[in-house]
Structure 1
């Protein structure tokens, strides 16, 4: 197995374990076992657990971004692209392995003691907020609408994870539709 394949295998194994049980609850030996490679090889690819976590968060960010963009591609108007965010969330919340936002979870566990984790979480959230701001601008809405819509999405993620039901996506979408209608009168 070449380094790129081995790296992907380790990141995928760590992602599933960290997301399912938490970063601190999972040891590197458990990741190694799930990935099916030697501990020496894994440490040659990822010298520390934090390095591995950062690779996992990069992969999670790429998955999130591609999912959000794909959802928006199905919408035809800027207003519908904004609402597509919540449709994406509904699909995500309905997945059997949904455990909330990996960035919020990682920040909650390690943000106070691992500056790189805190920075990755902030960067991920800022990127999403910039994406929403761009959609709001395309729709001709006021800049103040973007953080309101982003907060609805963030709150829906946390609520869905804690409640264990996907209902928060529909509630956030309904609230977003009201905000959009008020900000973008037809």
Structure 2
């Protein structure tokens, strides 16, 4: 098995297990069993579990942000794109394996002990906030509102995971609609 295939298999297993069960409850032997990659090979690819966690978060970040951007790009009106973020969150929250935000969960488990994980979490959250800032700018709205929309989205992620409901996305989306409308009129959807 070449390194690229082994790495992808290990990351697939890590994503399934870390996201589904939590990082601390999953050992490298669990990754081995699910991925089919030997422990020796796993440790060659990821010298410590922390390296695997960071790689999992990096790969998930790329996929997550691309899925969001693809959904938002399907809306022509710049103001509708802002609200499309919350529609997409609702779709994500309804996925059968939704367990909340992988970065919030990872930070909760490892933020106090892993600077590398904390850095990855902060990078993901900064990129998401920057994306929202770009949407605000494209719509001709004050970019300072991006921070408020960011907090609405983040709160919706946590609440949706705890409640097991997609309703927080709709509630946060309604609040976002009022924020956007308060800075320049109605928003089409």
- Normalising by structure 2, we get a TM-score of 0.96
Aligned counterpart, 1:18: 18
- Tell me whether 1:79 sits opposite 2:79 in the alignment: yes
Rounded to whole Å, the distance in 2 between the matches of 1:156 and 1:67 is 18
- Tell me whether 1:45 sits opposite 2:45 in the alignment: yes
Q: Which runs of 4+ in 1 moved over 6 A?
A: none
> Residue deviations 1:24-54, cap 9 Å, x none?
0000000110001211111111111000001
Rounded to whole Å, the distance in 1 between the matches of 2:141 and 2:126 is 19
Aligned counterpart, 1:3: 3
Aligned counterpart, 1:139: 139
Gap runs ≥5 in structure 1: none
Residue 143 of structure 1, CA deviation: 2.0
Name the Cα RMSD after superposition: 0.9
Aligned counterpart, 2:184: 184
Aligned counterpart, 1:91: 91
The total of aligned residue pairs comes to: 186
Gap runs ≥5 in structure 2: none
Rounded to whole Å, the distance in 1 between the matches of 2:137 and 2:33 is 48
Query: SS of the counterpart of 1:147?
Result: helix
- Tell me whether 1:119 sits opposite 2:112 in the alignment: no
Rounded to whole Å, the distance in 1 between the matches of 2:111 and 2:184 is 37
Rounded to whole Å, the distance in 1 between the matches of 2:83 and 2:100 is 20
- Normalising by structure 1, we get a TM-score of 0.98
Aligned counterpart, 2:169: 169
Query: SS of the counterpart of 2:155?
Result: helix
Aligned counterpart, 2:58: 58
